[in-house]
Chain A
Amino acid sequence: MFRTTLSALALCTALPAFAQPAPSDWDAVTEAADGQTVYWHAWGGSTATNDFIVWIGDRVADEYGVTLEHVKLADTADAVTRVLSEKQAGEDEDGAVDLIWINGPNFKSMKEQDLLFGPFAEDLPNWQYVDVDGKTVQTDFTVPTEGYEAPWAMAQVVFMHDTEDLPEPLPTAEAILDWAEANPGRFTYPQPPDFLGTTFLKQMLIELVDDPAVLQQPVDEADYDTVVAPLWDYLDELTPNLWRSGDAYPQTGPDQLRLMADDEIDLAISFSPGEASTAIADNRLPPSVRTFVLEDGTLGNASFVAIPYNSGSKAGAMVVANVLMSPEAQVRAQDPDVLGYGTVLDVAELPEEDRAAFEALELGVATLSPQDLGEVQPEPHPSWMTRISDDWTDRYGAGR
């Protein structure tokens, strides 16, 4: 202990005032973190997530003396804008953002602009439990994370259906279209570029394209028009049968959930297998809602946290990222009464006590078991998402 303190001291004197301890020297990190305040910019639209973040805050305050403040965003890109403005203004040492809940295009954008601190993720002590082989935790929409973001939750596409009006699962894109034509006005999806709405487009593209492998390359390297043509044909048939005939769309995932609670729609997409159960428990969905996945599998990805290059509390932020990956936090996140998020850990490799805690979890009435969730399809390269979302707006989102 004495030696690590000494080396930490040496580190402090050797570097300028705002330098942070190296991620690999965990004792120095926790020491520097004590007393720091971490501003975590994370989407604030879900009370369940907000409560979970409060709980994480209590843990890091008790154990490490880190104060965690949740900055509730309406849109993750607000935090990206903030870091960018700070860079523009020369605020390189103590920016407003210490930690961001991030993935996909926002991560790619920040990484390319050198707006991120790292690599740090694979030096965190709890990284040892992460399921590196079984889960997509080292690539984010095909972009290698290279330790610049730490995973904390797994997500997979499921469809929620109100069994009172739509009793049976719909196994394919064609089945969804047939049902929508027979029941016009009872399905919609969040309006792209909303994250979940774009996910629906990608999911349908994977369903409709001949060989999904082409989606793993940047969009420039593929014959874009030919690849996506089946998607537009599909949407041309689907759109007139959507809620409001496709003249209006819900703006976010929860907005879409509200439509289901109001019995305006019977089918909705979700990126969290446990969301339906959590929402039923929270009175935000009718008890008759269940979930299903498509025959050929559905999209899956991980949620990450990243640290901006100009955070003044990088040590504190690393401590928070590490606690998020701890078995204790992960089992809590997977509890449908709390969040219902999938774990990033390899449960089979955990210490006995932690594994038992995972196995004791009740998954919730509307949650599929890990076996029933079926095959996880990888995310396409982020350039597809951007391109498809732009073209969708041109075709369906800008007045017809």
Chain B
Amino acid sequence: MTAARLPAGLRALPPLTMVAMLGPVAAGLAGTLLPAAGFYPAAGLTTLGLGPLQSLLDWPGLAAAVRLSLTTGFLATFAALAITALFLAGWSGTRAFLALERVLSPLLSVPHAAAAFGLAFLVAPSGWLARLLSPWLTGWERPPDIAVTQDHWGLAMAAGLTVKEMPFLLLMALAALGQSDATRRMRVAAALGYGRVAGWLLAVFPSIYAQIRLPVYVVLAYSMSVVDVALILGPTTPPTLSVQIVRWMGDPDLAMRLTASAGAVLQLVLVGAALLVWRAGEGAVAFLGRRWIGSGLRAGRADAAARPVALGAAAIAAGSVLLGLLTLGIWSVAGFWGFPDPLPGGLDLRSWMRFATGGGATVATTALIAAIATGLSLIFVIGCLEAEHRRGKALSQKGLWLIYLPLLVPQVAFLPGLQTLLLSVGLKSGLGPVILAHVVFVLPYLFLSLGDPWRAWDPRYATTAAALGARPAGVLWRVRLPMLLRPILTAAAVAMAVSVGQYLPTLIVGGGRVDTLTTEAVALASGGDRRAIGVYGLAQTAAVMVPFGVALIVPALVFRNRRALRG
């Protein structure tokens, strides 16, 4: 079937999708580049030049902040990928693996800020672990003065990012596992005398990695430029570059906004450079892997040692997020809770009562934005996938890069520019623009979650339906969409989770007039009241888990008499 025979609406959807996704990024970047070059009419600054760059270079913390962005980004990405790979290598198909798979959705639903808060309270010198062990084991009557969090090297921050990114990479790797022919490869490796871990790393991992490469890049770009996690767990003298950019944006001296823009451009360049370095690293790892294969080394003993390490690392990563969530729950109802009491001295429900009176509108706004952004994105994505299917052309590698682009460009690099742009074309702040900004981030994830199941659908159903007289639209509406109900709902749940978690887009594009659970939670976080943070962290997590629950229950109800569609 040729493109010319596609209905006009379907033909228009793919280019429209690209505009919706990439237009804001491009426009926002332009809005950042101009001030970085000295052009900022609102502050009466119109002299183009290198002034902003110079003031960026004059900041004494620059070298350390750049180093931090790089080290935390690489460390977190490498650790998350290593735990994912080793755990898959050592344990896929076992009961331990199923157990982790089962807690994967809750792990993914915990917002980054909430997870970071939970972790910070867990491991701080005055945190829960120390309280449980003091003073009977540690002898501490007062918390020791040790920099466990906010350490100079950003290790706590890297750890916080690792435990949150590991589940994401694991989810992506699980999706890729189906197309990697793992069972047969493992059988060959075992026949050649390789242990479980070595065999998996050498025979299966390369094909998995090729499929999750872009998600890994997203993790790297995100870890390098994250703001909320860095604020909670990162060092402060100096902070990471992205945190400093946000500080400069907030400086009462308006000229500092030019420095912020120059910093944003530097952040963009850093992320680009880091991606190139990582790409080169891939080549190096591949080379070493081939050397290993060539050497014929079976490494049986290392293989046996790697399994418990992998299990321990994955369990600690998952456990710290879940325990952190538990501490948020305890804090949300805690009376005064001093060191070293293992539990709060009393119950205090005021934070929940405040939420009950004022939280309803916020929950409604959050749900409305997530639902509309997801609905719009679903139309775009299904339209693109259907157009692709009818044209018989699969998405090229270049197309995949375009889809990932909004996730690879640091948010601080283009959102402030986007805000100015929206205003100058007369779009008032409010729900509409916020929803459009969310679509930019929701679309890529929806594409990625729905693409594979959509393409995996057996086209013989379409042939059969056509033979029975159905038109292409009829096939889509009456056969394909109903059959794909479960993956569509799951993808929609992922998309809603992404929307609920957006902080900077909601704050900046909404002009502060749009309150969601996430913007409220971060505003409260600046006040450091753990009870309020606990309430909003839990509410945020619940808001993400509800759609996942719907995605489980609805297909089970609809397909109660269609056994093959239930599994």
Contact = CB atoms under 8 A, between A and B. Distances in A.
Interface residues of B, number: 69
A72 interface: yes
A65 to B, nearest CB: 19
Contacts of A396: 237
A190 B526 CA distance: 12
B338 A263 contact: yes
A232 interface: no
Contacts of A252: 526-528
Interface residues of A, number: 74
Contact of B64 (A51, A393, A399): A399
Interface string A40-67: 0101111100010010000000000000
Of A90, A91, A263, the most chain B CB neighbours within 10 A belong to A263
Contacts of B41: 88
A197 B253 CA distance: 18
Interface stretch (A6-14, A105-113, A214-222): A105-113
Interface string B127-153: 000000000000000110101001110
A283 interface: yes
B250 interface: yes
Given A247-B152, A248-B150, A263-B143, A74 B522 contact: yes
Given A79-B512, A96-B429, A72 B523 contact: yes
A261 B423 CA distance: 44
Given A45-B527, A54-B358, A258-B530, A77 B513 contact: no
A113 B254 contact: yes
A275 B126 CA distance: 23
Given A47-B532, A96-B429, A258-B528, A286 B338 contact: yes
A283 B513 contact: no
A88 B40 contact: yes
A170 B519 CA distance: 40
A400 to B, nearest CB: 8
Interface in A53-109: 54, 69, 71-75, 77-82, 84-91, 94, 96-97, 105-106, 108-109
B335 interface: yes
B528 A398 contact: no
A261 B338 contact: yes
Contacts of B428: 94
A243 interface: yes
Contact of A255 (B42, B416, B528): B528
Contact of B512 (A41, A185, A258, A259): A41
Contacts of B250: 75, 77-78, 81
A262 B152 CA distance: 22
Contacts of B351: 47
Nearest to B424: A89
A250 B416 CA distance: 27
Residue in B249, B419, B507, B527 whose Cβ sees the most chain A Cβ within 10 Å: B527
A179 interface: no
Nearest to A184: B145
B231 interface: yes
A44 B40 contact: no
Interface of A: 39, 41, 43-47, 51, 54, 69, 71-75, 77-82, 84-91, 94, 96-97, 105-106, 108-109, 113, 165, 184-185, 191, 193, 243-252, 254-255, 257-259, 261-264, 282-284, 286-287, 386, 393-394, 396-400
Which 10 A-B pairs give the minimum distances between C-beta atoms?
Answer: A45-B527, A88-B42, A398-B61, A89-B423, A185-B145, A262-B126, A96-B511, A77-B250, A254-B528, A44-B523
